[in-house]
Amino acid sequence: MSETSPRAIRHSAIRHSAIEMRGIGKRYGTTPVLESIDLAVPAGSKTVIVGSSGSGKTTLLRLLSGFDLPDAGTIRIGSEIVVGPGVVVPAHRRGIGHVAQDGALFPHLTVGQNVAFGLDRHERADQIGIVAGLLDLVSLDPSLASRRP
């Protein structure tokens, strides 16, 4: 019976991960928020990020979603590097998002545009149908799609 080392397990998880963050660093001014963070989320898994207030959880999610950029490191989603040397894929093209603890709507966009944010991989007609379906899912009247939040 052979044993698999923790290092081999870790490298295997990284090779088969849906999300990989390597060497992530982020500062706000002179204050380091994240330093040398490595994270591998296996495909099909559910992952929870926990920590005390101010520990960098929201910053990590903002970097992954593309709402902020790291000062160091690489981020891969699926097989695509979305942040790395000479590479920055914009937030709306990453195919990933997160729900913020507090309201996080874009005030300059309509409700429908906020819901559709990130759907540019779909045809415009499909986007309209998806938005209508999502508004219905949360019991919002379709007429609200044209209003500002």
DSSP string, 7-26: HHHHHHHHHTEEEEEEEEEE
pLDDT of residue 100: 67
Entry pTM: 0.62
pLDDT of residue 44: 86
Helix, strand or coil for residue 74?
A: strand
Residue 39 or residue 9, greater confidence: 39
The CATH number fitting domain 1-95, selected from 3.40.50.300, 1.10.10.200, 3.40.640.10, 2.60.40.10: 3.40.50.300
The DSSP symbol for 137 reads H
> Predicted confidence band at 86 (pLDDT cuts at 50, 70, 90)?
very high
* pLDDT over threshold 80, residue 43: yes
Which DSSP helix (H) or strand (E) runs through 75? strand 72-77
Query: Which residues of the chain are in CATH 3.40.50.300 domains?
Result: 1-95
Stretch 99-111: mean pLDDT: 77
Helical spans, DSSP H, in 6-144: 6-15, 57-65, 111-116, 124-137
